Copies of this chain bind each other. A is one copy, B any other.
Amino acid sequence: MSIRHGLLALLERGPRYGSQLRTEFESRTGSTWPLNVGQVYTTLSRLERDGMVAQGGEDGAGHTLYTITDDGRAELRAWFEKPVDRTSPARDELAIKLAMAVGAPNVDIRDVIQSQRRHTVKAMQDYTRLKAQALLAVESGGARERDDVAWLLVLEQLIFQTEAEARWLDHCESRLIRLSATARSAPDAPDAQSEPDAPAAGAPAPAPAPVARAGARTDRP
């Protein structure tokens, strides 16, 4: 339901036609999420079906314009006011993969973690490069200032998420080592050593683990 509302938000600034919406959507997100044109039209027709949007006239060049309706505006406000639900989060393929790799035959979960970390760190570097560009764009403040700020925020979201993923991978590795050690030493009588380095329950201030430094692995020494 995010494209739907994204288009509504763009339409609130005035009537637009299909591929114009695509362009504006992408300039907000800096082509981080390339939006297929087809989605715009299908989404627009659904919005029209639901009374959020009405097909207006044409502009000078003959493009059929879409206009937001009052229902659409109400829906948009509700969207902005209600937080995104994080109590039933989206499935994460990587998490599923590791969950399935735990104790799976013929799979060394360490290999999975390490190759994933290489990839994640590489993505992190790409984002960091992009962020440097975005900062330049924002600071040189052209007419597209608003779009540039939005792009910067989106990029930083990706950076924070990716960085968390890298730290989680590190954490998985050390946790698995710890668990297999205690499992071997005391299979049925676990000692109650609780939580050396995890985000502690109740006060989860994250350990500032160094990540992606100079493109190397992120293993702890």
Which residues of A does B touch, CB under 8 Å?
1-3, 5-6, 9-10, 12-13, 28-29, 32-34, 77, 79-81, 83-107, 111-112, 115-116, 118-120, 123-124, 126, 128-129, 131-132, 135, 138-141, 145-146, 149-154, 156-165, 167-168, 171-172, 175-176, 179, 183, 187-188, 190, 192, 194-195, 198-199, 201-214
Which B residues are CB-close (under 8 A) to A162? 86
5 A-B residue pairs with CB within 8 Å: A80-B112, A83-B120, A94-B157, A103-B146, A205-B209
Minimum C-beta distance from A34 to chain B (A): 8
B90 touches A84 (CB 8 A): no
Leading 10 A-B pairs by shortest Cβ distance: A164-B164, A83-B119, A9-B100, A103-B146, A99-B150, A2-B93, A86-B123, A160-B168, A83-B116, A102-B150
Q: Name A35's closest neighbour in chain B (CB-CB).
A: B91
